[in-house]
Amino acid sequence: MALSNSQYEAIIKEYEQTRDYNRQLADERRRQVYAAVPGYRELEESVGSLSAAAARHILEGDETAGEGLKTRLAELSARRAALLAEAGFPSDYLEPIYSCPLCQDTGYVSDRNGLKEKCRCFRQRELSLRYAQSNIQDMIQRENFSVLSYEYYQGEDLQHFGAAAALSKDFAKNFKEDYRNLFFYGTVGTGKSFLTGCIANELLQAGFSVIYFSAAGLFERLARYTFDTKARDPLQDFYEDLFQCDLLIIDDLGTEVTNSFVTSQLFACLNERALRRKSVIISTNLSLEELRDRYSDRIFSRITSSFSLCKLTGPDIRIYRRRQENNGG
């Protein structure tokens, strides 16, 4: 999902503000040194004068002027460094200040062919925007594969969770090359949303765009887009992103008020994303039988034929954790 013009301009403005701040900081350091180190300013000014004189000699045909300049500049640099050290300043105190030395706070670096490409700090800013857009920033700060645990499962429940966790890791690892959809279903509190958050975290870190909606929130927004003409223009970006983002997550399917509008919109969403080969993850507490009874046959057929089905069972982990906390362990 590409940045909008306003988002791109906001990032570029951040870089401009960073450069301005660092220039001001560098200027303040230079004034501090000039005031504290007698003779330093004169040495620095002599560098400019020396360079200008050498340039004139070179233009006049003196080929040795360049070599002499290098020697003299090295001597001046050593004297300046010595003055800074004697005054207790770090040797690099007056070097240019950059928040990102790679791109020097421009946001862009040159590749091996000399072409400009986004610096990793720029991509990190994009990533931060994607976290905000995904609606799951708080969730994915807590849920990632590094904290995945099997301790709450036993027997058949453990088999189900292990299979779902392995499939989730594989889904995230091969997301770019392997188009797939996931359908997590089963009892409440068994890790469906957790695995979804783990996947979202991995993909966002890799630079993919992820949008999360609760089923109720998604269909409420689709209803506003469809029936409220005043809201259509403000929601146009949402409607485009719904079909264009790399991964769409629909959480808690079945908690919405299901009617013919919801059914038709759900099928249209799944169908359009399938045509574009854009992945979907759905989680629900419904069983497959309840899914079939609640939605149309074509939705049931679409999900069971084009989604990898992950059944999760067992006790509610959230309740189990609360009991442990209340018992002190």
Question: How many independent structural domains does the chain possess?
Answer: 1
Q: Quick count: other Cβ atoms within 10 Å of Cβ 283?
A: 26
Label residue 88 by pLDDT band (50, 70, 90).
very high
pLDDT of 323 above 70? no
192-205 average pLDDT score: 90
165-185 average pLDDT score: 96
Backbone angles phi, psi at 284, to 5 degrees: -155, 150
95-110 average pLDDT score: 93
| CA pair distance 204, 67, nearest whole angstrom | 52
pLDDT of 33 above 90? yes
157-182 average pLDDT score: 95
pLDDT of residue 74: 80
Look at residue 152 and tell me if it is in a domain: yes
The percent of residues above 90 in pLDDT, for the chain, comes to 51
| CA pair distance 128, 3, nearest whole angstrom | 12
Could you give the 3-state DSSP secondary structure of residue 159?
helix
Backbone angles phi, psi at 307, to 5 degrees: -115, 145
Nearest to 167 by CA among 281, 305, 53: 281
Query: 143: buried, middle or exposed (CB in 10 Å: 19+, 13-18, 0-12)?
Result: buried
pLDDT of 259 above 60? yes
Nearest to 256 by CA among 296, 227, 213, 299: 213
pLDDT of residue 226: 86
Locate tokens 């769409």: which residue? Answer: 248
Backbone angles phi, psi at 108, to 5 degrees: -135, 145
pLDDT of 328 above 90? no
Q: For 282-300, how does the pLDDT look when each residue is reduced to its tens digit (9 = 90+)? A: 999 999 999 999 998 999 9
Query: Domain containing 236: what range?
Result: 135-326
| CA pair distance 68, 53, nearest whole angstrom | 11
Identify which has the larger pLDDT, 165 or 124. Answer: 165
Look at residue 307 and tell me if it is in a domain: yes
Look at residue 306 and tell me if it is in a domain: yes
Look at residue 29 and tell me if it is in a domain: no
Q: For 50-82, how does the pLDDT look when each residue is reduced to its tens digit (9 = 90+)? A: 777 766 766 666 666 566 667 777 888 888 889
Identify which has the larger pLDDT, 104 or 53. Answer: 104
Sequence-separated (6 or more) residues with CB below 8 Å from residue 22:
96, 97, 98, 99, 105
pLDDT of residue 173: 95
Label residue 253 by pLDDT band (50, 70, 90).
very high
pLDDT of residue 25: 96
Look at residue 111 and tell me if it is in a domain: no
pLDDT of residue 57: 65
pLDDT of 329 above 70? no
Could you give the 3-state DSSP secondary structure of residue 314?
coil
Look at residue 14 and tell me if it is in a domain: no
In angstroms, the first-to-last Cα distance of the chain is: 44
pLDDT of residue 163: 95
| CA pair distance 324, 24, nearest whole angstrom | 54
Look up the CATH number of the domain holding residue 211: 3.40.50.300
Average per-residue pLDDT for the chain:
87
pLDDT of residue 239: 78
Look at residue 258 and tell me if it is in a domain: yes
pLDDT of residue 46: 82
Copy the structure tokens of residue 185. 């279903």
User: Can you give the pTM of this predicted structure?
Assistant: 0.67
Angle formed at CA 197 by CA 193 and CA 203, multiple of 5 degrees: 145
pLDDT of residue 66: 61
Label residue 124 by pLDDT band (50, 70, 90).
confident
Label residue 112 by pLDDT band (50, 70, 90).
confident
pLDDT of 319 above 80? no
Copy the structure tokens of residue 277. 């080969």
Identify which has the larger pLDDT, 154 or 73. Answer: 154
| CA pair distance 85, 166, nearest whole angstrom | 57
Q: For 209-236, how does the pLDDT look when each residue is reduced to its tens digit (9 = 90+)? A: 888 999 999 999 899 888 887 767 767 7
